[in-house]
Amino acid sequence: VGEIIQNSLGVTKTIKGKVLIQEQCTLRDFKIQVTPHKEKKPSMEEILMQYIAKNEALFKTKPPQ
């Protein structure tokens, strides 16, 4: 299961199922990372919402720590 990592700049990209928010990521790098093909890709917001929805069930079924 991936982790959600945030910083103050709020630049997002995905790496191997993890949703990362990284400072050292320019807009140009971000666009290349998110849309390597011409086909329409989901927005980062959509990816993040899908990620949260997918993992919400896991969090709910885990016994309290």
pLDDT per residue over 28-57, tens digit each?
A: 444 444 544 555 667 888 888 888 787 776
Indicate if the pLDDT at residue 22 is higher than 60. Answer: no
Answer positive or negative: Cα dihedral of 55, 37, 41, 26.
positive
Determine contact, residues 58/1, Cβ cutoff 8 Å: yes
User: Whole-model pTM?
Assistant: 0.27
pLDDT of res. 17: 52
